[in-house]
Structure formats: structure tokens, C-alpha cells
């Protein structure tokens, strides 16, 4: 009950039990992201012996952020190196002071405490050893450059660049200044290896720099540049005036990208202005900027097939001014940001919204083709100078001069080494990142964007900074490496390309220019599972530095040189970006003029996504990190990206704390998500039913004795008759020696004896083994031998296919007399754990595998079905599945357990839609099952023959066996007469007792696939990769646990060990490894993604055939379709209602699918071959003799449109002759020529789509599209 007093003092207990005072809690400081108790450093200094007093403070060093400084007193001079060595043995590196100052006495406050405020103002030099001044002219000049770039007041010859606020981009900037100052190019790697003034000076002197190598001029503030080239510094020279100038590489790329979306490459900036804004003065300053920078009055056009820039004179703009309420702002901004016409200058606009007397919004919008991030900073800095009435120095050179220099021989020399580097990086084709998406990828890339902001815990941030110090890698490199791991785990790939931007100011003369300099680097890394994160980080470090060194090769040139297959649904080479912004102190609030300040306005988001996914991190000078993921809303849901952010945070925590972990051991799952998957999604626990299927059917013997149980072509049986015959057979089997657990085969045609035989075997205690009489003799012999079955029930007409050694019992003899009657033995008592049936499935070795299932598993499956989809005595089930497949078991038994009627379709007619319709109508069938491919054919038949009204009795239609397609679902619900029926998608392997998931199909399926649903009762499902649970939305292999898992295979332990394993989440159970790929959806449903060993990969793209098949089936004249891969080519096999040709099908597909998903060959077939269980027989399709589609070397144009297109292509490409089957890009076409092609087509009144050459690569395809466009669009 006593109270405690909180002192606010920090202390720790020493090993001998004494308490050591560490200072006040409010003396905690934060340096480079680390929270530090200065008292702990002071206590360590006092323990040294020579130090009498000590005080440690965090002191701001210009714009470089805070650093630790220690002040000590002692009776005699103290050696700094010895003191620092002492501290280094006891404290982590981030707690070591950057300087130690020895004073006569520490300043104190009036009450005798250390006056830390006065220490902040101390200007004494550090003690001897804490700071060593630069020596010689080279080191002194280097120190000036470092101070300028890092924003610090002084730098010592031993100070490390990256410990004073330096990072990769500042390093590039500093080395550019070194090149200009000394005429020597320094590789970026050199600075990382020797990051001190002393080390860099040694490199320069060794490279030929002398003490007199000063340049003629030094800029004040210079932005990022690259030390590319191996020649001495040469200035950019002004060019002669001209009517037009060549466009730079960056401008060409942005001109192409502008064709993809209206405002995607606008650069809007919304600023809150506080203070007495003078709009007239602002307008004068803006127009002065337009006059000062030629880029701001530049437009673009074509001359002789080349993109050029035109600089205009005498341009001035007005600034729109309006009053606005707070609730109008969003609409005003939306109306303000609109497309630019690149043919018309200026490509910028301004507007001022007055919100209050001293509160305005300044709206700025420029096209990216004339600006970039650094340019916007230059613009605002110079605008503030002009607004304040201060002059600016004249511009010696302009952006057009840079563009000419870039393509000059000097620029070309700088570019050649970079070109060779990038071509070697991509010497082999890079894979396309296969990120799982929530929605099908649009045919033409969507730029609709969203953003998720997230926070990384402070402890993780501190660990990241600590790892940076320990590893010699920058924060950028650590975050990029972790991002590679995230993408690898999401995609299942270990060859990852991530885009990043670099300022691209590769010459010091560009420091004050406004224009588009930014370049994109495609960073390729290989996060292979066996690597540790530390090893991956060093790989990323090497590759990043090499990419920075070779940034002079424009990204679009690289793409054109690689001649990658162009796809307007994606960006070339990569679809995800990583961007790290470095913000200096005070950059977020800027002065405009006297009493007027600019603040960031947080109420605006430019909702565009230039890439599928972009990780944006902002690093401030005080070592804070701000995080966001930008994404395409037409690909991802908001909650998917939020989960991805959570997974990234989890990875950052793991790798920063334990960088030596193998990548395969890294886990992305949080405890919350793990609980959701393990317990919410798998919340299937239900009391296991007692008894067996036999006992439930026995109950119907007296509850429904006179009801018809079975109706078949050979007759019908009531429940009383059915059970009586089954008991008679059981007695006969026992009399012939059948014992509990013996395998008994049943080989009959579809008839009443199917159900009689099945129940009789179980009542005798036997294990049911169905054998199809149509099987080859060798297969039957193998099944009997492998199962050790010695007893076969069959009919006399079928016994010829059986080995004479088998005990053959002819079912016709069951009623022949007393010798075949059963004995009055006590009934065999079956338990849930007893073996129930043995089914053989296809095996990879070419021999079938026998799967053994328990009674309890079967009963659990059937009882779940009754709870989920209840039926009663009035229901009628149609049995048409071959009884060697497990679906037949629920067709036979589910209804019998409920007293319903089972109608057997006449043998051999299960593939005849007419016979099935007649059976449904005649018997008023309420429950039926279909393999999806058969369902599609059946629905088509019903539609053509207008037979829907004859199916009105149907209540449940179940589909399983292969993926159900969205168009099949839509066709089903489009049939008016069966609106009351439910379509249910089931999934499950034989090894898990028929089915393990179910999904009630809605009338409209969003997406390219139908989910397989949620787990059934007492079933646990796990999506794993390398033994680890995969998060929601991430692909992995599906594993099954729970009541349905089979006892195993008949082939022995080796076969079992391939597919069955101990359940790590429940030691009492086993898991079955399905070999199927799947992922959890956010609602707890599973999506089937194909087979692990059957993925289609063509030209670097991973392709889901079902998506192509669905689009093919959406074409009105195509009834069925299957897509397969052969020899790196996609082949579509289609069944069409009318005559058509492959070119027309391809042209129609181009409206729905990206180019890489359009089949290389379309093969028309009369019907799709089927396997015995009704699935498409893909092996037979691939054995077909495919028609040749080889093209002649030259195919001449025929129609007038084709002839016109040939002339246009020849003019644009400078190639002749061109045939109508020649590929635009294989003829040497580039992205910029693809845009020029549109310009030429417009002049011929052909009204092309944007970037039409990317969608239709040949004249034949382009002409077909233009001819049919109106029809297709309608």
C-alpha cells in the first residue's frame, strides 16, 4: 500500500550491487536515429580515471544533423585517442562522441548544476586527437567541398563522409565537384572504401592531381551529379541560336510516356502560403523565372522524323486568382491539374486561391518534360529570391545547351562505358515480376493510384541505422535489399529488378538548370533463398554503386537496345520502384518574402501510379524515416497494400536485428496475421460424427423402407430391398472368408449392383476397391496385385478381364440359392479409424497410386455436405460420375443417408447433354455434379436448344475436378429457368477424401478465376513455401490437414514420404502436400493458381492459362478453349460455332489481353478430348498434328489500308521493303518512333490508338484492328 517516488534520474546497478547514477531522464538525446542517454557516456568517461568531470551534449552541426560532443576536465592534458579507445571498448559505435573538448572547468548554473546551454555555445576546438585539420592544399580544398555538400562548418582529415550526413546521392554530388575542381574522376566505390579527406586526397594525388589544379570558378549550391567519364572536366558550351534543338534522352522518354495517360506525368505542387502575399509581385517573379529559364518557354514537335524542342521568346503568363472556401479546395485542385499540349508553350500554369487574408494556396503545375524534383527546388528557391527583389546571377548555359552536349562526341564517350555495363547486366532476359494481384491486369496500363502511409517502430529504425554503421551500407541499400526480399517472397522469384531514380545531373554545369535530367536505373539483384541477408546486402551495395557509376546510359535507350517484347499493360524491365528522398533540415518550410512563408499542404494527393508498386521513403536530416507504398488501384485493393506494408515492416525488424539469417528463414507474418490464418480462416472444428456411413443408411431401412432408393436401367430398389441384398452379399462374403480390413474389388457397370456391392463389402468388414471394367487388363492386374486383393465382385459378362487366380464372385449368383446366402453371423462392427475404401489415381511414374481412406473421413465429408447443403427424402441425385472417381461416393451415398433417391444415368451417356436433360426432366433431379469443362459444353447445348425450362427441378449443381471459369458461372446464372439453383465450386484431391473446400458462386465473379472457397468441417488448410506459412495474398503450395487426410498410399513408405508429412501445427496429425498452388484471399477464401510443376512460363512471363481461356470463351463464336505451352510458345485449342480464322481471334483477344498473353497459334478443333473422368485430356491435344503457321520472308500488302500502312512504316523506320507480317520492333523500331508512327497515321486520317504499335506489332494486325475497331467497340 506504500507509494513510490519517481525521481526522473537514470541509473544502473553495477556487478557488485552498487547503483551508478547516469543522469536525468530528460537529458536523453537522439542522434542519427538512436536514442542515447548522455549520462551513460558521462559515467563511462568518469570511470576512466584521468577525467575529473564530464558532460555530453548533442550539438547541431549545420544541416548535417546532431552529433555528440563530450566536454571533460582533468588535472592534466588527456590524450583523446586513448580516451576514445577506452570508450570504444565499452560503448557501441553510435554512442562515441565525434569530438572531445577539454576545459579548465565545466560551466555551472547559479544552483551549481552543469550549464548545458552554455556548453552548446562553446566554440573551443576539440582536444588534440579529436580533430585533425586537413594537411596540404589538396586536403584543404577537399575539405571546402565536403563542408559545402554536407552543410557543416568544418571537417577533419580523418572524419568519415557518411557519419556527417553523407549518403549516396550527396556522394555523387561531391565527386562531381571534385571532378570539376581537380580534373580527376573518382569512382563512387572509392569514396565508400576510403570515406575520409585523407584517403580521398591520397587517391587524387595518385591520380595526377596537383596543388595548382584549381578550376576557374566554383558554384555556390550545386545539386546531385555523377562523376562519369574518364576525361578532364570540360564545360558545356552555349550553342548557336536555332529554330529548334534536339530533345534530350530524358525528354524523349517523357514524350513517349505522355502518350499513355493524360496527367500521369504532370508535376503538380500545392503550397500553403501564410502571410501578406502580393499576387502582382508573385506574377512578376514567375514571369521573370520564365524569362530566365528557357525550359519554361519550350514546346516540342517533329522535324525530319526527330523529336525537337523549340524555345520561344516573349512568353508571359497570368496567374489565376480566386476566393475559395475550405470545402471547395479539392474540386479546385482537381480542375487545376489537367493535361498539357506538348506542342504549345509554356508547359506550366499557376493559380492562387485566397482562403483568408493572410492564408492562400499556391497551385503550381508543370509537365515533367520540363522539370524534375531538383528543378522544382531550384524554381522555388529562385522564385523566392526574385519575389524578395534580389537579383540572380545570369545563366551561362541553358538546358538546350545540355541536350546538345549530351549527344555530342564528348557526351557519347561518357555514355559508351555505361552502355556496355547495362547491356552486360541484361545479357540474359530478365524475368517479369509475377506479383499476385487482386484484379486482372488491364490491357493498357492503368495509372490510377492510391497510397498507404505506414510507420516503422522506432526500435526497428534504430536497428536499421546500427546495421548501416556496422555493414558499410547506406540506409538506401538496406531498405532496397529488404524490398527485394519482400518482392521475392511475394512472387516466388529470386531474380528481381527494381527501378529507382537518380538526379541525372552528370555535369557540374547543370547545377542551376531547370529541366528534365532525372534518369531511371533498373537495379537487378538475386535474393536467393540460401543467402543470408548480410550477403544480399553486400550484393545490393556492389550493384547499386556500379549502377550509379554507369548512370549515363538513358533507360529508354537501354530498353530499345535490348529489344524486349513491348507490352502496353506494363513498364519495360520492371513494374516496381524504390525511391528514397533525402530532405534537409528546414526544407519543408521555406520563406517566400518578408513575412511570407511556404508550407507543405497535406490535403492533396496526386493520385497516379506510374508503376504497379512504388516504395517511397523520406529520410530527414534528423534521421527520421517516413514511409509509403504507392500502388495501382486497378491491380490492388487498399487492404492488400496495407498487408504488404505490414510484411515489409516485419522483414525490416528481422533483418536489422539479425542480418545473418538466411532469406529462406525470414518470416513476414505478424502474430495477428498468423492467428487469423490459423484460427479464423481455419475455424472448422465440429464434433466428429459417430458411427459410419453404413449405420446411417441402415437407419433408412426402417425410416424409408418403402421409398425408392436406387433407380437404374437394370431396375430399381427400395431401401428395404437395397439393404436386404447388401446384407445377403455381406453374408456371402464372410462365408467366402472375407475378414475385417480385407480389400474387396467391385467391377461392374453403372447399375443397382454398384450400391449393393459397395454396402455389402462394408457390411462384411471389407475395404471397397472400385475397378472400371473398361480398364486395360494390365492396369487391372496391377491394381489387384498392388492392393493384395484376392476377391472380386463382378458380373459374368466382365470376368474375362480378370486373372484366374482371383476369387471371383458373380453378383448374378447372389439370389441363386442357400449356398450363396449369408450366414447368420453377428454384424461386423466398423470404427471410424477403420479403412473404408481404396481408390487408384494417376501416378507420376506411369503406374497408378492406391489411396486408402478411413470410414471416419468419409462420414465427416458427407455430414459436412448435409449441414452445408441440406437435402431430404424428396430430393433426387443423378449418379453419372465413373465410380472409380471419388465424386461417385457422395453421388451414391449422400442421398442414401437422407432417404433420397439416386438415379443412375444409363452407362455411356454421361457425355450426352440430351440424355442428361431427359434424365433431369423425367426424374425431377435436384442434385447433379459436373466437371467444369463438361458443364461448359452442357450449358452451351442447353442455350442452343433452349432447354433451360426442362431443368427447373435443379437445386444444387456442384462442380469439381478442374478449375471452374468465370464465364461458366455467368452462363449458368444467365439461364432463367434455373435461377433458383445454386452453383457450388468444390476442390479436393483424392488423398483428402473427395473435397476440402467449397465456394458458393455468386452471379458475377470479379477477377479472372473462381475461388475454391473455404475449408470444410474439421479440415485445416495451409499455404506454405519452404515450410513457412504464407501471408494473405501470397502464393504458395497448398497443404491439407485434418479429418480427411488419407491413411496413405499402398506403395510403401517412400511414396508416402513424398506427399505426407508430420503436421508442424498439430503433432497428432499429418499433412498432405497437394502440389497445387494457391493463396488466401482477404475474406478467408482460397484461390487456386495451378500446379507447382505445371506452370506456364513463356519469354520470361509467368502466365495463367485460365485467364486466356476465359477471354477466348468471351468471344461470342467460341464455345470452349484450352491454352497450353509447347516449346516456349502458347497454343490455344478452341471449339468454335462458326468458321473463323486465327488472325481474327488474335485481333479480338488484343482488346482484352496484353501482347505476351496472346497465343502464338490458334488451333480449331471439333471437340476437346476428355479423360475418363470428364477432364480435358491435355496430353492428347499436344499430340495433335498442328497446322503450320510459318510465314514467308515477305508478305505483300493487299488492301488499300495495308498499302498505306506500309508506306507510313517505311517512312518512319527508314526500312524498305516492309511486309505485312514484319514486326515493328524487330525492324529496329524504338519507342519514340512508335509515337512518330501515330503522328504520321493522324496525317492520313487513320486516328490511331495511343502507342498502337505496342499492341499491334505487324501491319496485318494493325490493319485488322483498324478495320474492325468500330464493330468490336460496339
* pLDDT tops 70 at residue 212: no
pTM over 0.85: no
Looking at residues 1132-1146, what average pLDDT do you find? 84
- Report the pLDDT value the prediction gives residue 1155, as an integer from 0 to 100: 67
Q: State how far the Cα of 249 lies from the Cα of 552, in Å rounded to an integer.
A: 10
The answer to whether residues 897 and 723 touch, using CB atoms and an 8 Å cutoff, is no
Per-residue confidence band for 230, with pLDDT thresholds at 50, 70 and 90: very low
CA–CA–CA angle 975, 976, 977 (5° rounding) = 95
Q: Which residues contact 409 (CB under 8 A, 6 or more apart)?
A: none
The answer to whether residues 1262 and 1228 touch, using CB atoms and an 8 Å cutoff, is no
Mean pLDDT lowest among 39-48, 167-176, 292-301, 815-824:
815-824
Percent of the chain past pLDDT 70, that is, above it, reads: 88
Nine-digit cell at 1079?
493463396
- Report the pLDDT value the prediction gives residue 1154, as an integer from 0 to 100: 62
The CA–CA distances, whole Å, from 929 to 757, 879, 918, 984 equal: 22, 8, 16, 9
9-120: CATH, from 3.40.720.10, 3.40.50.300, 3.10.180.10, 3.30.300.30: 3.30.300.30
Percent of the chain past pLDDT 90, that is, above it, reads: 42
* pLDDT tops 50 at residue 1192: no
Region label for 1214, one of left (φ > 0), alpha (ψ between -120 and 50) or beta (otherwise): left
What topology is assigned to 1095-1189 in CATH?
GMP Synthetase; Chain A, domain 3 (3.30.300)
Looking at residues 1207-1236, what average pLDDT do you find? 86
Could you read off the pLDDT of 303-315 as tens digits, one per residue?
A: 988 999 999 998 9
Per-residue confidence band for 128, with pLDDT thresholds at 50, 70 and 90: very low
* pLDDT tops 50 at residue 950: yes
Any idea where the domains of the chain sit in the sequence? Answer: 9-120, 136-206, 245-404, 411-584+605-670, 689-854, 1095-1189, 1200-1273
Mean pLDDT lowest among 6-10, 638-642, 773-777, 1224-1228:
6-10
- Report the pLDDT value the prediction gives residue 1230, as an integer from 0 to 100: 81
* pLDDT tops 70 at residue 32: no
* pLDDT tops 50 at residue 780: yes
The CA–CA distances, whole Å, from 72 to 107, 119, 879 equal: 11, 11, 93
Top CATH class, 245-404: alpha beta
The sign of the torsion formed by the CA atoms of 700, 703, 705, 711 equals negative
* pLDDT tops 60 at residue 228: no
* pLDDT tops 50 at residue 220: no
Per-residue confidence band for 227, with pLDDT thresholds at 50, 70 and 90: very low
Q: State how far the Cα of 1044 lies from the Cα of 5, in Å rounded to an integer.
A: 62
The alpha carbon of residue 39 and the mean position of all alpha carbons in its chain are separated, in whole angstroms, by: 47
Could you read off the pLDDT of 497-522 as tens digits, one per residue?
A: 999 988 888 788 888 999 999 889 99
Asked whether this chain's domains 245-404 and 411-584+605-670 adopt the same fold, the reply is yes
- Report the pLDDT value the prediction gives residue 222, as an integer from 0 to 100: 33
Give the chain's count of helices (H) and strands (E). 36, 49
Nine-digit cell at 895?
442421398
- Report the pLDDT value the prediction gives residue 171, as an integer from 0 to 100: 79
- Report the pLDDT value the prediction gives residue 225, as an integer from 0 to 100: 35
Q: State how far the Cα of 990 lies from the Cα of 853, in Å rounded to an integer.
A: 9
Mean pLDDT lowest among 325-339, 808-822, 1115-1129:
808-822
- Report the pLDDT value the prediction gives residue 139, as an integer from 0 to 100: 85
* pLDDT tops 70 at residue 1094: no
* pLDDT tops 80 at residue 168: no
- Report the pLDDT value the prediction gives residue 231, as an integer from 0 to 100: 47
What topology is assigned to 1200-1273 in CATH?
1.10.1200
What topology is assigned to 689-854 in CATH?
Rossmann fold (3.40.50)
Looking at residues 1129-1147, what average pLDDT do you find? 83
- Report the pLDDT value the prediction gives residue 979, as an integer from 0 to 100: 64
Check residue 1170 and report its DSSP letter.
B
Looking at residues 777-794, what average pLDDT do you find? 90
Pairing type for strands 1048-1049 and 1060-1062 reads unpaired
**Max mean pLDDT range (110-119, 590-599, 656-665, 1238-1247):** 656-665
Per-residue confidence band for 264, with pLDDT thresholds at 50, 70 and 90: confident
Per-residue confidence band for 821, with pLDDT thresholds at 50, 70 and 90: low
The answer to whether residues 322 and 291 touch, using CB atoms and an 8 Å cutoff, is no
Q: Which residues contact 1209 (CB under 8 A, 6 or more apart)?
A: 1215, 1218, 1224, 1227, 1237, 1259
Per-residue confidence band for 825, with pLDDT thresholds at 50, 70 and 90: low
Top CATH class, 136-206: mainly alpha
Mean pLDDT lowest among 11-25, 40-54, 185-199, 557-571:
11-25
- Report the pLDDT value the prediction gives residue 887, as an integer from 0 to 100: 94
Of 138 and 1088, the one with more pLDDT: 1088
Q: State how far the Cα of 1029 lies from the Cα of 668, in Å rounded to an integer.
A: 9
- Report the pLDDT value the prediction gives residue 1187, as an integer from 0 to 100: 62
Could you read off the pLDDT of 270-280 as tens digits, one per residue?
A: 989 999 999 99
* pLDDT tops 70 at residue 1026: yes
Per-residue confidence band for 326, with pLDDT thresholds at 50, 70 and 90: confident
Class of residue 667 by CB neighbours under 10 A (exposed 0-12, middle 13-18, buried 19+) = middle
- Report the pLDDT value the prediction gives residue 10, as an integer from 0 to 100: 64
**Max mean pLDDT range (506-520, 868-882, 1257-1271):** 868-882
* pLDDT tops 80 at residue 232: no
User: Any idea which residue has 517511397 for its cell?
Assistant: 616
- Report the pLDDT value the prediction gives residue 215, as an integer from 0 to 100: 36
Q: State how far the Cα of 1132 lies from the Cα of 1159, in Å rounded to an integer.
A: 6
The CA–CA distances, whole Å, from 657 to 528, 646, 652, 1029, 1207 equal: 20, 17, 8, 21, 64
- Report the pLDDT value the prediction gives residue 60, as an integer from 0 to 100: 66
* pLDDT tops 90 at residue 900: yes
Q: State how far the Cα of 484 lies from the Cα of 476, in Å rounded to an integer.
A: 12
The shares of helix, strand and coil residues in the chain, as percent rounded to the nearest 5, are: 35, 20, 40
Could you read off the pLDDT of 427-485 as tens digits, one per residue?
A: 887 778 989 888 888 877 888 889 999 998 989 999 999 998 888 888 999 999 999 99
Looking at residues 653-681, what average pLDDT do you find? 93
- Report the pLDDT value the prediction gives residue 211, as an integer from 0 to 100: 43
- Is the domain 411-584+605-670 a CATH 3.40.50.740 member? no
Looking at residues 278-298, what average pLDDT do you find? 95
The answer to whether residues 55 and 70 touch, using CB atoms and an 8 Å cutoff, is yes
Q: Would you say how long the chain is, in residues?
A: 1274
Residue 1025: strand, helix, or coil: strand
The CA–CA distances, whole Å, from 820 to 59, 722, 801 equal: 103, 17, 23
* pLDDT tops 60 at residue 898: yes
The CA–CA distances, whole Å, from 436 to 90, 483, 492, 562 equal: 48, 16, 10, 26
Q: Which residues contact 322 (CB under 8 A, 6 or more apart)?
A: 332, 351, 352, 353, 354
* pLDDT tops 60 at residue 824: no
Amino acid at each position: 500500500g506504500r507509494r513510490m517516488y519517481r525521481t526522473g534520474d537514470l541509473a544502473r546497478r553495477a556487478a557488485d550491487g552498487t547503483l551508478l547514477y547516469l543522469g536525468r531522464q530528460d537529458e536523453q538525446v537522439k542522434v542519427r536515429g538512436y536514442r542515447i542517454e548522455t549520462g551513460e557516456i558521462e559515467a563511462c568517461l568518469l570511470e576512466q580515471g584521468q577525467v575529473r568531470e564530464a558532460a555530453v551534449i548533442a550539438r547541431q552541426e549545420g544541416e548535417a544533423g546532431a552529433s555528440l560532443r563530450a566536454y571533460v576536465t582533468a588535472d592534466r592534458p588527456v590524450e583523446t585517442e586513448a580516451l576514445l579507445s577506452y570508450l570504444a571498448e565499452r560503448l557501441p559505435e553510435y554512442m562515441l562522441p565525434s569530438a572531445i573538448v577539454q576545459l579548465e572547468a565545466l560551466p555551472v548554473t547559479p544552483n551549481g548544476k552543469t550549464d548545458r546551454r552554455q556548453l552548446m555555445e562553446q566554440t573551443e576546438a576539440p582536444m588534440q586527437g579529436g580533430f585533425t585539420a586537413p594537411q596540404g592544399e589538396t586536403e584543404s580544398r577537399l575539405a571546402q567541398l565536403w563542408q559545402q555538400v554536407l552543410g557543416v562548418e568544418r571537417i577533419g582529415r580523418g572524419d568519415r563522409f557518411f557519419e556527417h550526413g553523407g549518403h549516396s546521392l550527396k556522394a555523387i554530388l561531391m565527386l562531381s565537384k571534385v571532378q570539376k575542381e581537380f580534373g580527376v574522376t573518382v569512382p563512387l566505390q572509392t569514396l565508400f572504401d576510403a570515406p575520409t579527406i585523407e584517403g580521398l586526397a591520397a587517391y587524387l594525388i595518385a591520380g595526377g592531381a596537383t596543388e595548382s589544379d584549381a578550376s576557374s570558378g566554383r558554384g555556390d549550391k550545386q545539386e546531385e551529379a555523377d562523376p562519369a567519364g574518364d576525361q578532364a572536366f570540360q564545360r558545356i558550351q552555349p550553342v548557336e541560336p536555332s529554330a529548334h534543338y534536339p530533345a534530350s534522352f530524358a525528354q524523349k522518354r517523357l514524350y513517349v510516356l505522355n502518350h499513355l495517360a493524360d496527367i500521369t506525368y504532370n508535376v503538380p505542387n500545392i503550397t500553403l502560403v501564410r502571410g501578406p502575399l502580393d499576387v502582382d509581385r508573385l506574377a512578376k517573379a514567375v514571369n521573370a523565372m520564365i524569362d530566365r529559364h528557357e525550359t519554361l518557354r519550350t514546346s516540342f514537335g517533329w522535324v525530319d522524323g526527330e523529336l525537337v524542342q523549340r524555345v520561344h521568346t516573349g512568353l508571359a503568363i497570368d496567374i489565376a486568382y480566386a476566393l475559395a472556401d475550405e470545402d471547395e479546395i479539392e474540386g479546385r485542385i482537381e480542375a487545376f491539374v489537367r493535361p498539357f499540349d506538348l506542342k504549345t508553350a509554356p508547359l506550366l500554369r499557376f493559380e492562387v486561391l485566397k482562403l483568408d487574408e493572410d492564408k492562400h494556396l499556391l497551385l503550381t503545375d508543370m509537365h515533367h518534360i520540363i522539370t524534375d524534383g531538383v528543378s522544382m527546388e531550384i524554381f522555388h528557391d529562385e522564385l523566392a529570391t526574385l519575389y524578395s527583389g534580389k537579383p540572380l546571377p545570369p545563366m551561362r548555359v541553358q538546358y538546350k545547351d545540355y541536350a546538345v552536349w549530351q549527344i555530342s562526341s564528348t557526351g557519347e564517350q561518357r555514355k559508351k562505358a555505361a552502355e556496355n555495363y547495362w547491356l552486360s547486366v541484361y545479357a540474359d532476359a530478365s524475368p517479369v515480376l509475377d506479383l499476385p494481384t487482386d484484379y486482372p491486369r488491364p490491357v493498357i496500363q492503368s495509372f490510377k493510384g492510391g497510397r498507404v502511409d505506414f510507420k516503422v517502430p522506432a526500435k526497428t529504425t534504430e536497428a536499421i541505422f546500427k546495421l548501416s554503421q556496422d555493414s558499410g551500407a547506406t540506409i538506401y541499400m538496406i531498405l532496397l535489399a529488404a524490398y527485394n526480399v519482400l518482392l521475392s517472397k511475394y512472387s516466388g522469384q529470386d531474380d528481381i529488378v527494381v527501378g529507382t531514380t537518380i538526379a541525372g545531373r552528370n555535369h557540374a554545369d547543370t547545377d542551376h538548370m531547370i529541366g528534365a535530367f532525372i534518369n531511371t536505373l533498373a537495379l537487378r539483384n538475386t535474393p536467393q533463398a540460401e543467402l543470408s541477408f548480410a550477403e544480399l546486402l553486400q550484393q545490393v551495395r556492389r550493384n547499386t554503386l556500379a549502377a550509379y557509376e554507369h548512370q549515363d546510359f538513358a533507360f529508354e535507350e537501354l530498353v530499345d537496345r535490348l529489344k524486349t517484347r513491348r507490352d502496353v499493360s506494363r513498364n519495360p524491365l520492371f513494374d516496381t520502384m524504390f525511391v528514397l528522398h533525402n530532405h534537409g533540415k528546414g526544407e519543408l518550410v521555406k520563406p517566400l518574402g518578408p513575412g511570407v512563408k511556404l508550407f507543405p499542404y497535406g490535403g492533396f494527393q496526386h493520385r497516379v501510379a506510374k508503376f504497379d508498386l512504388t516504395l517511397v521513403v523520406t529520410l530527414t536530416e534528423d534521421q527520421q524515416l517516413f514511409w509509403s507504398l504507392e500502388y495501382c488501384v486497378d491491380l490492388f485493393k487498399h487492404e492488400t497494400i496495407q498487408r504488404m506494408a505490414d510484411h515489409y515492416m516485419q522483414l525490416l525488424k528481422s533483418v536489422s536485428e539479425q542480418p545473418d539469417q538466411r532469406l529462406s528463414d525470414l518470416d513476414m507474418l505478424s502474430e495477428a496475421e498468423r492467428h487469423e490464418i490459423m484460427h479464423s480462416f481455419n475455424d472448422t472444428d465440429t464434433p466428429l460424427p459417430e458411427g459410419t456411413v453404413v449405420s446411417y443408411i441402415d437407419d433408412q431401412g426402417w425410416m424409408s423402407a418403402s421409398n425408392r432408393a436406387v433407380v437404374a436401367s437394370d431396375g430399381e430398389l427400395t431401401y428395404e430391398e437395397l439393404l436386404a441384398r447388401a446384407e445377403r452379399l455381406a453374408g456371402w462374403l464372410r462365408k467366402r472368408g472375407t475378414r475385417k480390413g480385407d480389400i474387396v474389388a467391385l467391377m461392374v457397370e453403372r447399375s443397382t449392383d454398384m450400391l449393393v456391392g459397395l454396402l455389402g463389402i462394408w457390411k462384411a468388414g471389407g475395404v471397397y476397391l472400385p475397378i472400371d471394367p473398361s480398364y486395360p487388363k494390365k492396369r487391372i492386374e496391377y491394381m489387384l496385385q498392388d492392393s493384395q486383393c484376392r476377391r472380386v465382385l463382378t458380373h459374368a459378362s466382365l470376368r474375362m478381364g480378370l486373372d484366374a487366380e482371383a476369387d471371383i464372385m458373380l453378383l448374378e449368383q447372389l439370389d441363386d440359392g442357400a449356398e450363396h446366402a449369408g450366414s447368420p453371423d453377428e454384424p461386423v462392427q466398423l470404427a471410424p479409424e477403420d479403412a473404408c475404401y481404396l481408390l487408384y489415381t494417376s501416378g507420376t511414374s506411369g503406374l497408378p497410386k492406391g489411396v486408402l481412406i478411413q470410414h471416419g473421413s468419409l462420414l465427416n465429408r458427407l455430414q459436412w455436405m448435409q449441414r452445408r447443403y441440406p437435402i431430404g427424402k424428396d430430393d433426387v441425385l443423378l449418379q453419372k460420375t465413373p465410380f472409380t472417381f471419388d465424386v461417385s461416393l457422395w453421388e451414391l451415398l449422400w442421398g442414401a443417408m437422407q432417404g433420397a433417391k439416386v438415379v443412375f444415368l444409363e452407362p455411356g451417356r454421361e457425355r450426352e447433354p440430351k440424355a442428361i436433360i431427359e434424365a433431369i426432366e423425367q426424374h425431377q433431379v435436384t442434385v447433379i455434379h459436373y466437371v467444369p469443362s463438361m458443364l461448359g459444353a452442357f450449358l452451351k447445348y442447353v442455350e442452343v436448344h433452349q432447354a433451360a425450362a426442362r431443368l427447373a427441378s435443379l437445386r444444387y449443381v456442384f462442380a469439381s475436378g478442374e478449375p471452374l471459369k468465370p464465364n461458366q458461372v455467368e452462363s449458368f446464372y444467365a439461364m432463367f429457368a434455373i435461377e433458383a439453383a445454386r452453383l457450388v465450386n468444390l476442390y479436393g484431391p483424392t488423398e483428402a477424401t473427395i473435397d476440402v473446400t467449397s465456394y458458393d458462386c455468386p452471379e458475377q465473379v470479379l477477377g479472372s478465376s473462381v475461388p475454391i472457397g473455404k475449408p470444410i468441417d474439421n479440415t485445416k488448410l495451409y499455404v506454405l513455401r519452404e515450410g513457412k506459412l504464407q501471408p494473405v495474398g501470397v502464393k504458395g503450395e497448398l497443404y491439407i490437414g485434418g479429418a480427411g487426410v488419407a491413411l496413405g498410399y499402398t506403395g510403401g513408405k517412400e511414396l508416402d514420404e513424398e506427399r505426407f508429412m508430420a503436421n508442424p501445427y498439430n503433432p497428432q496429425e499429418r499433412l498432405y502436400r497437394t502440389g497445387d498452388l494457391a493463396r488466401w484471399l482477404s475474406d478467408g477464401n482460397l484461390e487456386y493458381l495451378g500446379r507447382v510443376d505445371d506452370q506456364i512460363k513463356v519469354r520470361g512471363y509467368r502466365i495463367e492459362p485460365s485467364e486466356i481461356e476465359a477471354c477466348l470463351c468471351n468471344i461470342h463464336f467460341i464455345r470452349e478453349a484450352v491454352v497450353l505451352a509447347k516449346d516456349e510458345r502458347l497454343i490455344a485449342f478452341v471449339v468454335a460455332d462458326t468458321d473463323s480464322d486465327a488472325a481474327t481471334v488474335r485481333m479480338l483477344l488484343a482488346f482484352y489481353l496484353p501482347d505476351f498473353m496472346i497465343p502464338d497459334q490458334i488451333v480449331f478443333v471439333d471437340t476437346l478430348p476428355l479423360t475418363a473422368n470428364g477432364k480435358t485430356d491435355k496430353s492428347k491435344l499436344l499430340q495433335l498434328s498442328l497446322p503450320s503457321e510459318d510465314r514467308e520472308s515477305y508478305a505483300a500488302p493487299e488492301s488499300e489500308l495495308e498499302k498505306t500502312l506500309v508506306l507510313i512504316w517505311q517512312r518512319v523506320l527508314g526500312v524498305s521493303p516492309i511486309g505485312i507480317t514484319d514486326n515493328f520492333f524487330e525492324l529496329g523500331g524504338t519507342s519514340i518512333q512508335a509515337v512518330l508512327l501515330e503522328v504520321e497515321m493522324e496525317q492520313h486520317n487513320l486516328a490511331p490508338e495511343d502507342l498502337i504499335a505496342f499492341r499491334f506489332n505487324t501491319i496485318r494486325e494493325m490493319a485488322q484492328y483498324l478495320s474492325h475497331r468500330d464493330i468490336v467497340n460496339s
